[in-house]
Amino acid sequence: MRELQKLSHQQSRDKGFWDVAGEVPLTTLVAKLALIHSEVSEAVEELRAGRNEVWYSTERSDTGLKPEGFPVELADIVIRVLDLAERLKIDLEPVILEKLTYNATRPYRHGKEI
């Protein structure tokens, strides 16, 4: 997880998405969270379009065609979260493990009727 955080953040910095030095301003944090939300919206659109598998658009790069689809949007969400966590010096792995441990103690559907 740490390596993925580092890689996600390094690529983001290399592409110019972190020109802010020092403490990250609240407006930048809000913008980064909005970008995560936009990836969630893109995932919803892929589901609505029935594109549940990875497919490739005609947009090309040096490495080939651009991957698209619901799984790719899920990956984009995770990449953006890892990037933000790394910039804020949050090691997500122990936090995720702690939260999973807590969630295991919760009742079925957290005791809510659905």
Exposure string over 80-104, b if 16+ CB within 10 A, otherwise e? bbbbbbbbeeeebeeeeeeeeeeee
In 10 A of CB 105, how many CB atoms? 6
Q: Domain map of the chain by residue range? A: 2-111
Instruction: Kindly report, residue by residue over 40-90, the tens digit of the pLDDT.
Output: 999 999 999 999 999 998 887 777 889 999 999 999 999 999 999 999 999
Beta pairing class for 64-68 and 55-61:
antiparallel
Residues contacting residue 91 through CB under 8 Å, at least 6 positions apart: 1, 2, 5, 85
Helix (H, G, I), strand (E, B) or coil at 55: strand
Residues contacting residue 52 through CB under 8 Å, at least 6 positions apart: 46, 69, 70, 71
The CATH number given to 2-111 is 1.10.287
Question: Torsion over CA of 46, 52, 57 and 60, rounded to 10 degrees?
Answer: 110
* Chain mean pLDDT for the chain: 95
pLDDT of residue 45: 98
- pTM comes to 0.90
Cα–Cα distance measured from residue 84 to residue 71, given in angstroms and rounded to the nearest whole number: 20
